[in-house]
Structure 1
Amino acid sequence: MTATTASSSSSKGASSDDGHERPLGIGFVGAGMVGQLAHIANFALIPVCRPVALAELRPRLGGQARDRFGIARLYPDHRALLTDPEVEAVVVVTRRPATGGVVLDALEAGRHVLSEKPMAHSLAQAARLVDAARRTGVRYAVGFMKRHDAGYQRFKALYDGFLASGELGRVVFLRGYCHGGAFACNAEGFVMTDEQRPDGLEVWPEAPDWLPPALVRDYAWFLNVFVHDVNILRHLVGRSPEVTFADFRHANGRVVGFDWGGFSGILDMAEIPFADWEEGIEVLFERGRLRLRFPPPLLRNVPARIELERTGEAGAVARPAVPWSWAFRRQAEAFVADVRGGREPAASGEDSLADMDLIETMWRKAIALGNTPAANRD
């Protein structure tokens, strides 16, 4: 089989022999638990796309996942998958240090890409990927599924509406938090084997080259866990903040201060084994409070929950209703629609460059203030 590129125009309005639009051919790189449950299972339910190929370095796992989800072809690695002419778009869910290289190969092969977050481990790496997407004219999305959560989208509409109307006054303070917990919710419906993950993928450095080597492991963990929260706060407000302080001295329990231009904010972060999941946003207005709490990531069909409290109405808390839905399913549907419609994804690689820049700024600030960890995280 020879390598064939699928241009962005080839998946737009393509028709089959009977005159109906041809389903978008999707290939998957990686078949771990998250790859299967959050991505393959959701794309398999979308009528206008078709899972046609899977690349997995562990052959038994790959074979079992292929059979479970009815995927036509299994490849030993992503390079072999990219020679498949039916693969028009690729979903990348692999080891984080390997993500950048796999995504770059897919973009340069002319495939549309949705990759798990973080898109890379430095702003410079991320810029390489965005440049490749621009050159090849394909859609490139990053897996910030919270942006597609129906509860968050309603929350964002309420926030924007209150700013426009002035009904609750100005924003006084913004808090984001992520304390971790049980993200998998006893998930079922996937297969696993006892195979060791073999070598065979190019890995990129796990931190920018200016970061002291002793901080690399801690930085990579921080980026992987908390880039979701950086992305969602930046999207909510519509811009990046000034970083006023960053305290990363302790291995678990981080705090970053922001100036959003007109109001202050904070992001506090930890990773605690709660039985539930603790992550959300709180906006304080002069005359009210708007709260959002995210569900555990793998909890199916439960959107983020909203609470609205107005000052002067003691005990009156409104909880706007949001239809049952799952952020990962909505993300998959949005990616397929963006590719087929030739639209820029809402959580695009280009947009996420600002996340990478902001996280590097946090770490520079922590270093400048002497607020870095004394030792790597265990």
Structure 2
Amino acid sequence: MAFEPLRLALIGCGRIAQVAHLPALEKADGVELAAVSDPSPEVAEAVARRYGVTAAYTTHAQVLADPAVEAVLVAAPDRFHYPITAEALTAGRHVLVEKPLAATSAEAEALAELVGRTGLVLQVGAMKRHDEGLRYARRFVAERLGEIRSFNAWYRIGDLRPGIEATLFPRVYADRAARESEASFKADRQRYLLVTHGAHVFDTVRFLLGEVESVVARHRRHGRDSRDSWDQVWQVLLTMASGAIGTVNIIVDTPGVPSEGVEVFGASGSVRVDTPFPFYRQASIVRAYAGGETVTPALTDGDAYERQAEAFARTVRTGGEPDPGVHDGLQAVRLIEATAAAAESGQEIAL
């Protein structure tokens, strides 16, 4: 590390913060955890004790008033991403915000304008971009595949995931009242699942293949005990600005283990990426074919959450563009909205 550590505060100490961000920040080079905040004082104090942080707040306003804080990681629920991020940028703080960037494209556009006006760094927490396997695949697509013709991407949440999480996750401090309140906001399962999983898979497609020109989508629900527990399926056809066409498949839940990946087919070869459940902390497995040979690179750095925190700190300290930046976050939100509109209307939606 060739620069002073970035003094970062965590806003929101919920499950994703405790199982993903905090363990990554503890290891990340170039980052110093300066403060944590959560509306529950018990949760904020428990997390602060676990990670040896002296500043534990209950509001993000307290965080932004702390002169020791240079940047914030916003891990609050989705509906708070816009207001907290906007306030942080206005207060002169750099921001790493969990995906999705905002709840609507209008909010995301407002954040893009604010970034342009302040000149501060805003990085979106689509951490898959910092997966070594996906980064290898991106280079292979650009350098070896030639004209891209088609692709298939999938994001399938297996019904074995709860047991896998119970095995891999550390103890999570939680406020029962807050958990019940959040459950009510997630009751619109169709919207919540498309947003939370679509944000990842759509960003991955754009990361590998560029801009999307249009969306066609179909959605189906499959009932179990009640409407609230219906399984959900989206099948999406994307036409890229390059002319390539491909599919995105999102399924919640499917029997078996979680499965995520993408295949890309070009004029000169193909590449397949299989992305493990992120808490295994393994890089994606890549099988790349071109010129009559198949290559499977050995990739060992598998903590994408740690890599994204280090990339954020490096961008703040040394310059350059954040990856992904505010434009990428905006486009992901637009793709989520376009998919919902296309599934509802049955029409092709142009972006």
Q: Same fold (TM over 0.5)?
A: yes
CA, structure 1 residues 172+110, in 2 after alignment: closer, same or farther (shift >3 Å)?
A: same
Deviation at 1:345, TM superposition (A): 0.3
Pick closer, same or farther for the CA change 1:217–1:200 going to 2, 3 Å: closer
Higher CA-based Rg: 1
Contact 1:185/1:299 (<8 A) preserved: no
- State the one-letter code of the partner of 1:323: T
Residue among 200, 204, 224 paired with 2:196: 224
Unaligned runs of 5+ in 2: 222-230
Structure 1 position 285 matched with structure 2 position 266? yes
CA distance 1:272–1:218, change in 2 (3 Å): closer
Match of residue 294 from structure 1: 275
Structure 1's unaligned 5+ residue stretches are 1-19, 207-214, 372-378
Q: 2:29, 2:295 → 1: CA distance? A: 37
**Could you tell me which residue of structure 2 aligns to residue 324 of structure 1?**
301
The corresponding residue for 1:210 is none
Alignment partner for residue 86 of structure 1, among 63, 68, 74?
A: 68
The answer (yes or no) to whether the contact 2:198–2:336 under 8 Å persists in 1 is no
Counterpart Cα distance in 2 of 1:46 and 1:172: 38
Quote the residue 2:226 is aligned against: none
Aligned residues: 332
2:283 is matched with 303
Q: How does 1:49-198 map to 2 (within 5 A)?
A: 49-163=31-145, 166=146, 170-181=147-158, 182=161, 184=165, 186-197=167-178
Q: 1:262 to 1:240 in 2, by over 3 A?
A: closer
Pair 1:194–1:57, CA change in 2 (3 A):
closer
Which whole-Å deviations, capped at 9, do the CAs of 1:226-268 have from their partners, x for residues lacking one? 111001101211222322x210243511111122243321101
Matched residues in 2 for 1:171 and 1:59: separation?
A: 52
For 2:84, the aligned partner's letter is V
Equivalent residue letter for 1:364: A
CA RMSD of the aligned region, Å?
2.8
Q: Residue 347 in 1 paired to residue 347 in 2? A: no
* CA contact 1:180–1:277 (8 Å) conserved in 2: yes
For 2:217, the equivalent position in structure 1 comes to: 246
Partner of 1:30 in structure 2? 12
User: Which whole-Å CA distance do the structure 1 matches of 2:109 and 2:22 have between them?
Assistant: 27
From the superposition, tell whether residues 298 and 225 of structure 1 become closer, same or farther in structure 2 (CA, over 3 Å). same
Give the letter for the 2:272 counterpart. Answer: R
1:134 and 1:151, CA in 2 relative to 1: closer, same or farther beyond 3 A?
Answer: same
Q: Is the 8 A contact 1:184 1:296 kept in 2?
A: no
**Does structure 1 conserve the Cα–Cα contact (< 8 Å) formed by 2:144 and 2:268?**
no
Distance 2:170 2:43 in 1: 14
Q: Take 2:220 and 2:176, find their aligned partners in 1: how far apart are those partners?
A: 37
Report sequence identity in percent.
Answer: 28
Question: 1:67-115 CA distances to partner (integer Å, 9 max, x unpaired)?
Answer: 1111120011111111000110000111121222211111111110011
Deviations, residues 148-189 of structure 1 (Å, cap 9, x unaligned): 1001100111111113xx4xxx43320111112327372244
Would you identify which runs of 4 or more consecutive aligned residues in structure 1 move more than 4 Å? 198-201
* CA distance in structure 2 between the aligned counterparts of 1:350 and 1:262, rounded to whole angstroms: 21
* Residues 138-147 or 289-298, more deviating: 289-298
Higher helix share: 2
